[in-house]
Every structure is written in structure tokens, then in C-alpha cells.
Amino acid sequence: MSIPDSPADSGKKLESINIINALRRGTVPAGGLERIAVGLEVEEGVIARQLEYVAEGGGDIKFIRGDYGSGKTFLVARSLELARSNGFVTAHVVISSASPLHRLKGLYQQICATIRTRDEEHAPKAIIDTWLFGIEERIIQAGGGDLDEGALERAAEKEIETALAGISEVNSSLAAAIRTYYRANNAGNFQLAQSAIGWISGEPNIGRDFKQKAGIRGEIDDTVVFCFLRGLVSIMVSAGYRGLAVAVDEVESTLSLQRASREKGYAAIQQVVDALDGGSMPHTYFLVTGTPSFFEGPKGIRSLPSLFDRISVVQGEGFRNPRQPQIILSKFDVQKLEKVALKVCDVYSSAYGEIDRERVSHRFIRAMIQKVTKKFSGRVDVIPRIFLKEFVDVLDKCELYEEYDPWVAYEFETGHLKGDLREEEEAVMVVKF
């Protein structure tokens, strides 16, 4: 008689399968990243301490700097995972030509669209519901349970106004939208309630009908974005979360814009830095990633000396100091990739059962890394995604076929990668004519 897995074992197995599935697709896993992380212990520790400071009511920011292949995407994903596990709400913004740094409304929309908690994705509605439920619970307890529905609704609306009073002094629209959402929910008008959440999230094309019913004029634009963000963070904290952690990824895309747009984008970053340092964005953490050219190039933040002075670092030899404004990542090397591969073996064993360590030995892993890097001009830093995809395929074949011998059968060819390569990978791939 087999003994069923405990809930903890089942959870670990499910997480392991999710990790392996993501590696098969060449993507960063959604969870369990600490199980395949290598060489980031110091950086993770610094970010964890920053998050604790933010949870106590501070505001902070960290810039992550590195070339392609240095692990910026992984560290961002791991940091957001760490934040959620410590009670934060997270969001992930990707800067691009379609969503540039200087268009603050677009950034706000991305933040709202990607808000998630440990238990729920697309979480703005759930967070606001939790906050409103908490308000009702406090009112009911204070009133001894004798309030009728009308009195409860009026008392709750009054508390909504009180909670957002500081925001309403600048712009009263957020409180009006939440009040409309609350009334619509109570009345069972879910279409109006959904419109309210959409408007709060900065979604375009919310009809005039909603704004008329809510008594709102205008839209969420660049001038009120930070005001609305402070309001949402205040709601998150009142709902029991420790704050908001926002990753702003690929800011180097700003370098391709016209000078006026670049400078406006850099001024927006300086505005965020100054607001965090000045205490006007409590419980808020920003993580901003970019390439060295963004931080040091002539079109980068050097063109705004006041921002450059705020976030520049002391470049020292040897011991890295990630407590400085920037975490500077080094390129991936063979040793790190070997360690990741060994960790993937452990994860695969949790997902599918023990792998054959004779067929997939440490010596085979080294040989496989050499075969793959040879086709990419010896560049280890550009191959982790490709290598891990190939490596999981080898593990699958070993698990499925007893007769499969990777030493004999595995050869790395690049033909099947056509259309799957990223620009940096394709640039260094060895092509035979």
C-alpha cells in the first residue's frame, strides 16, 4: 500500500514541475526561483533588508545594472518573489517604445495591470475588496452589530473619505471612484463596479456614463499618476499588505528616443528617487534594471547630472557593494552554469523521480556546456536559456528511455533554434557557410 504524499511534498512536486516546464519553454519560472539561484546571496540579502525598511514605512529604490546574460531578469523575478513571500504586492513594468519611460500614465497602467499578491494575479479588485471588507468589519464591531445596511454603507463611505483625505486634497477622483465601486457592488451593479476598477487602473475607453455616475471629470494623466499610486499603496497597507514593490525593466530602451523624450524619462526617475528619499512615497519600493550604456553612456543618465549624482556608484576592485544605489552584475560564467545545471537535476528529481547520475554526471554537464558554447563563439553569458532548454530535453530522454545514452546521442545543432533566438544570441552564433 503506497503512502500518499503530504501536502508539503505535493506542493514541492507541483512547484518542481512548474520550474521544469518553464525551462523547457526557455522562460524564467514563476516561482521557486531560490531553488535554481546561483551567486546572488549577497544581492538578495541587500534587497531583503530594503524590503524590511519599506515595510516599516520607508520608501526605497535599487538599480540593477548588467549586460545581456548577467541575470538581470532572474534577479528581478527572484526579488519580486521574495517581496510577495514577505507580504508585499508586486508589479512588473517593461519599458519599450510602446510604453516609454516618459509617459507616466502608461507606466501607471502597466503597474495596475500587473499587480499581484502571493495568492492572486490581477489583484487590484481583490485588494480593494479586502480593504472595504475590513472597514465594514471595524464599523460593525464598533456599532455592536446594530447597524442596518443603509447606516453601514454611509459609515463606510465616510471612512473611505477619511482614509483618502490626504489624496483628495490633491485630487478627489480616487475616493469618488472607490465610493462608486462600493455602492455598485452593494447594489449588485457589477458592470458599474467593473468600470470603476477599470478607471482606477487607468484603463482607456471607460465610458462617460461611469464618470457621470461617479461625479468625476477628466482622466488619470501624467500630472496625477504619483498621487493615485500613493493612494493605491495606502489602500494596500490598510488591507494588510506590507507595501508595493515595482520592477521597472529594460529602461535602456529609452536610449533610442529623441533627446526631449529621454530627458523627460530621466526626470521622471529623479522625481521617484526624490519622492522616496523625501518620505512622500511610504511603503513603496522600486527596482529598476538597465544596461551599462544606460548608466554610463552619453545618451544615458549622465545627460541629467542631478540624477547621475544621486545614483552613481563608487567603483572598487574586488569586493562588490550592492548596498550602493546600483547592483552591478557580472556576466554568467561556466562555474555558475554548472551549479545551475546541478540544481536543475535536484528539481527534476523532485518532479519526476531520481535521475540517473551516471548518465547525467557532472562530467557530462561540463562536456555539454562546452558543446553549446562552441556554437556561440565561446560566450557562456548568452547561452543559459538555450543550454537549460537543451539540458531539460536530455533529462526527459533519460527518464523516458533506459537505452538513451546522452554521451553517445547528444549533439548540439542550431537548426531547430531558427526563429527562437534573441538578438544577442543570434549575434554571436557561429554560422557555417
Last residue of a domain, one of 268, 300, 328: 328
Give per-residue pLDDT as tens, 181-194.
988 988 899 999 99
Cβ pair 364, 405 in contact under 8 A: no
CA 62 – CA 245 distance, rounded (Å): 11
Query: Which CATH number covers residue 284?
Result: 3.40.50.300
Q: Which domain holds residue 199?
A: 124-226
CB 139 within 8 A of CB 155: yes
Specify whether 43 is located in the same domain as 27.
no
Q: Is position 233 within any domain?
A: no
139 in the same domain as 213: yes
Amino acid, single-letter form, for residue 388: L
pLDDT band at 127 (very low <50, low <70, confident <90, very high): very high
- pLDDT > 70? residue 3: no
Q: What pLDDT is recorded for position 332?
A: 83
DSSP state of 380: G
238-253: pLDDT as tens digits:
999 999 999 999 999 9
Does residue 73 belong to any structural domain of this protein? yes
Residue 60 in any domain: the answer is yes
Tell me which of 306, 328, 350 is where a domain ends: 328
User: Do 301 and 394 share a structural domain?
Assistant: no
Is residue 94 helix, strand or coil?
strand
| Long-range contacts (CB closer than 8 Å, 24 or more residues apart) made by 152-158 | 153/182, 153/183, 153/186, 156/132, 156/182, 157/182, 157/183
What does the alpha-carbon distance between residue 252 and residue 388 come to, in Å, rounded to a whole number?
26
Identify whether 232 is part of a domain: no
pLDDT in the model for residue 1: 43
Q: Identify whether 351 is part of a domain.
A: yes
Would you give the distance in Å from CA 197 to the centre of its chain?
Answer: 22
> Which of 226, 261, 293 corresponds to the end of one domain?
226
Give the lowest-confidence range in 78-82, 87-91, 336-340, 382-386: 382-386
In whole angstroms, give the CA distance from residue 159 to residue 165: 10
Per-residue pLDDT tens over the stretch 34-43: 999 888 899 9
pLDDT (tens digit per residue) in 320-342: 889 999 999 988 889 999 999 99
Residues 251 and 317 in one domain: yes
265/406 same-domain check:
no
| Inside any domain, residue 75 | yes
* Separation between Cα atoms, residue 137 and residue 132, nearest integer Å: 9
Same domain, yes or no: 378 and 337:
yes
pLDDT of residue 145: 60
Same structural domain, 152 and 172: yes
pLDDT surpasses 80 at 423: no
Q: Do residues 86 and 137 share a domain?
A: no
Same domain? 313 vs 349: no
Highest mean pLDDT among 45-54, 145-154, 160-169, 174-183: 45-54
256 with 403, same domain? no
Cell reading at 325: 544605489
Average pLDDT over residues 367-391: 89
Q: Quick one: 205 and 269 in the same domain?
A: no
What are the C-alpha distances in Å from 135 to residues 10, 125, 241?
Answer: 37, 15, 15
Residue-wise pLDDT tens digits, 108-123: 999 999 999 998 888 9
How many Å separate Cα 352 from the centre of its chain?
A: 29
* pLDDT higher than 60, residue 276: yes
* 235 assigned to some structural domain: no
Pair (29, 45) in one structural domain: no
Chain segment 299-310, per-residue pLDDT in tens: 999 999 999 999
Number of independent structural domains in the chain: 3
- According to the model, what pLDDT value does residue 417 have? 74
Residue 231 lies in a domain: no
Task: Kindly report the pTM of this predicted structure.
Answer: 0.87
DSSP alpha helix (H) spans, 143-172: 149-163, 165-168
Name the residue among 285, 292, 275 with its Cα closest to residue 247.
285
pLDDT at 146: 67
